[in-house]
Amino acid sequence: MRTHVAAPQQINPKGLSDYLEVMSKAAFQAGISWQVVESKWPGTREAFDNFDPAVISKYSGSKMADLLEDARVIRNHLKLEAVVANARRMLELDKQYKGFKKYLRSFGSYEELVKDLRKNFKFLGEMGAYYFLYVVGEKVPDWEQWSAIHMAKR
C-alpha cells in the first residue's frame, strides 16, 4: 500500500541563493531520509551562509574541515563539497546566460534540461532534478506520468 506524500512547497526564486538552497536540499536528500534532511535544514542554512553562492564559492579547506565537524549539517564530505562546486558552477552559468533562470529556460525540452543539469551539478540525479525544477517553479512533467516511467527504472 502506497502512502501519499504531499508535494513540496514551490517558491518564486528571488536570487541565486534560492536556487542553490533548493538544489542543495535535493543533493542532500539523495540516499538519505527526507525527514533527517528536513530536521537539519535550519542549521544547514546557517552553516552555509544562507546559501549565498558568492560566499560559498570561496570556501576553502579550513571552512570545509569546520563543516565536517559541524553537528548542524549532514557531515558527508562529498555532499558538502558538492554544494561548493555547485555554487561555483551556478555563478558561471548565471554569468554566461545573463541569469540563471535564462539558463534553465534555454533548453528545448525537459529531458535536455535535466541532462544538462546532471552534467553540470554534483549529486543531482533524475529525482533530484525533478524536485529542484518543480520547487523553483519550472515546467516539469506530470508527477504520475514521470514517476511511472522513472521509478520503474529503480
Q: Where are the domains of the chain?
A: 16-150
- Cell 522513472 sits on residue: 150
- Sign, Cα dihedral of 128, 134, 140, 143: positive
Check pLDDT > 80 for residue 88.
Answer: yes
23, 54, 154 from 149: Cα distances, Å: 22, 37, 10
Distance CA 28, CA 81 (A): 11
The pLDDT of 133-154, averaged and rounded, is 79
Res 1 pLDDT > 50 = no
Q: What residues contact residue 24 under an 8 Å CB cut-off, 6+ apart?
A: 44, 48, 51, 82, 83, 86
Residues 62, 92, 32, 154, CA torsion sign = negative
Give the burial string for 30-50 (b: 16+ CB within 10 Å, else e).
beeeeeebeebbeebbebbbe
The pTM (predicted TM-score) of the whole model is 0.90
**Alpha carbons within 13 A on the beta-carbon side of 9:** 4
Q: Is the pLDDT of residue 125 over 50?
A: yes
Q: Mean per-residue pLDDT for 57-70?
A: 94
The CATH homologous superfamily of the domain defined by 16-150: Hypothetical protein; domain 2 (1.10.340.30)
What integer pLDDT is reported at residue 5 of this predicted model?
A: 59
Mean pLDDT calculated for residue range 87-91: 98
